[in-house]
Amino acid sequence: MSFTAYVLPLLLLVPFGAGVLLFALGKLQTLRTPVEFSADTPPPPPEPAPPTPLHPAARLLAYTGFCLPALYAVALCALFANAVNPATGYAWLAQTPLEISWLGVSLMFGLNGLSLPLFTLAALVGAAAGIQAIHGGADNKPAFLALLLFMLGAALAMFASVDVFFFYFFHETALIPAFLLLLYWGGQGRRTAAIQMAVYLTFGAMATLAGILLLALKSGTTNLILLKAVFATAPLAAPTAGWIFGLLLLGFGVSAALFPFHSWAPAAYTEAPAPASMLLAGVFRQFGPYGLLQLGALLAPAGLVRWAPVLLWLALGNVVVIGVITLGQRHLKDLFSYATVAQAGLCFLGVYACVAGGAVAQAGAGAAVFLMFGNGLATAALFLLGHGVWQRTGALEFGSIGGGLAQRAPVLAAFFVAAAMAFLGLPGFAGFWGELGVFTALSGAGLATWQLALVGAGVAIAAVTMLRAVAAVFFGPETAVFKARVEAHPVRDIAPNERAAAGLLLAAALVAGFWPRLFGDALAAALQP
């Protein structure tokens, strides 16, 4: 077996191994539930608590577990064109000994043009979240970091899985540490948010698993390479394809907070600690549209044709209805959470455009993946910088923040504005090519002018929402309460570690924005019939 067969398994061992060792190095501590604050119990002072001391060996181990996969992923992007096998469309295929023969399931890793951008997204967001967490003030920090590493490892394995069953398995596995992080380190509404997330995602997981099992029964395999070959010679008949796509639409739609199954997501993103929010909203939200594209639109196109009108209206519900709800938010993290859910609609619209077939379908699918990459980076950056605002003001409500923060923390303001622009898909950022491609594909798919106008209105609402947040937090008039707070606790600009984390995310969005061929050629090759 050549060394290339060990590339991905060795990489995936890094975060999992680092997480296990962090548990061993950390003191045996019971997960301590944070204090709940009532009307009779005043909240803590706005200044953040000093970070929990971390043993130097544990700090080095954490940096290795979070940052090495990011370096590795960047190298894989550079080497992908020369490493891909034209016969399979995958690079660095690795068959592991883990196999369930009676189910026809085997653990195989590999990357193709569709999974490479999202694998890279997971690695970069994981590194930024890890940097923030290492320097944060979480209780029982070794356990906190270990759970984040397990989330990161599962995210990487999810996008690198060639077997559909393990793609599903690693996503569900990642939700266990996500649930624990939300339940033990989340905000005041963490219990309700955690229970709501568990109920919704369990329901979605059951629907997704049913669709995957039906897909396997009709093909005799769960291997994506073999599935593509089987259905290329014997496409699924319309009734069966309709059942498969319908189940996958329901399951993946719940996972990605597709309207009207979205109510769990804003609460979970808001109440989760910042590093977990970055991974949940920036990375795991992509599981839905990516899965529906890989397993539904590309393997069961007849099912997409049947469900296309439903998918279109549900996605428009995200873009327009949830966009309007976002417009009314006055809490910074709530605003980010709802805006992220609204943007998911654009990714699903890219999947919808595949109904047209041919070049339009390829353009829509490629644009959807590009948008997932760019939007995931920007979303993670916003949650990271929003946490920085809270650390410096002790508030997230617009009326309590006080405005005028740009004068006291200009670097934070600059990063925040750049992240907002990246989120909106301005030229120069990766999201621009995704949004432009989705609009182009929708036009080619025959969408009516008034329907395109609804999509445009949703994008305009998102722009107003973000610009209003920027103005309220950084350029509004300073209130008397804010001035008094600043006099008692002077505001410091963001620290070097925060600059490194935000800079990593925004630099990646800029590189993909100015050099779209970074993923464009690989996407085009993967989407060839």
What's at 95, amino acid-wise?
A: Q
Give 29's DSSP letter: -
Cα 431 from Cα 433, distance rounded (Å): 6
Beta strands in 82-195 (DSSP E): 91-100, 105-111
Q: Does 257 have pLDDT greater than 60?
A: yes
pLDDT at position 380:
94
Over residues 246-267, the mean pLDDT reads 90
CA separation, residue 233 to residues 13, 219, 294, 300 (Å): 37, 11, 17, 13
Structure tokens at 520: 């464009």
pLDDT at position 70:
93
Cα 337 from Cα 333, distance rounded (Å): 6
Other beta carbons less than 10 A from residue 451's beta carbon: 15
Other beta carbons less than 10 A from residue 392's beta carbon: 24
Over residues 331-352, the mean pLDDT reads 90
Question: SS3 of 495, please?
Answer: coil
Cα 368 from Cα 252, distance rounded (Å): 15
Structure tokens at 275: 């590093």
Name the pTM for this structure.
0.89
Over residues 182-207, the mean pLDDT reads 88
Q: Does 395 have pLDDT greater than 80?
A: no
Give 504's DSSP letter: H
Over residues 275-279, the mean pLDDT reads 92
Handedness of CA 249, 252, 258, 260 (dihedral sign): positive
Residue of 337 and 141 predicted with greater confidence? 337
Q: Does 436 have pLDDT greater than 80?
A: yes
Over residues 241-260, the mean pLDDT reads 90
Place of tokens 């629907």: 207
Q: Does 400 have pLDDT greater than 80?
A: no
Q: Does 139 have pLDDT greater than 50?
A: yes
Nearest alpha-carbon partner for 287 in 385, 381, 382, 164: 164
Q: What are the residues facing 163 on neighbouring strands?
A: 223
- Give the DSSP per-residue string, 191-228: HHHHHHHHHHHHHHHHHHHHHHHHHHHHHS--BHHHHH
CA separation, residue 394 to residues 43, 291, 504 (Å): 9, 39, 26
Nearest alpha-carbon partner for 360 in 466, 423, 441: 441
Cα 424 from Cα 509, distance rounded (Å): 12
pLDDT at position 481:
66
What's at 297, amino acid-wise?
A: A
For residue range 345-382, list pLDDT tens digits in order.
Answer: 999 998 898 887 778 888 888 889 999 999 999 999 99
Structure tokens at 65: 């577990």
Cα 335 from Cα 329, distance rounded (Å): 5
Q: What's the pLDDT band for 126 if we cut at 50, 70, 90?
A: very high
Q: Does 34 have pLDDT greater than 50?
A: no
Question: 139 — alpha (psi -120 to 50), left (phi > 0) or beta?
Answer: beta
Over residues 49-59, the mean pLDDT reads 68
Question: SS3 of 479, please?
Answer: coil
Mean pLDDT, the chain, integer: 85
pLDDT at position 40:
40
Q: What are the residues facing 331 on neighbouring strands?
A: 397
Q: Does 393 have pLDDT greater than 90?
A: no
Over residues 219-231, the mean pLDDT reads 86
Structure tokens at 216: 């396997």
For residue range 59-72, list pLDDT tens digits in order.
Answer: 888 899 999 999 99
Is residue 343 within 8 Å of residue 336, measured between CB atoms? no
Within a 13 Å sphere around the CA of 453, how many CA atoms are in the beta-carbon half? Answer: 3
**Peptide bond preceding 97 in cis form (omega within 30 of 0):** no
Backbone dihedral angles phi then psi of residue 48, each to the nearest 5 degrees? -70, 150
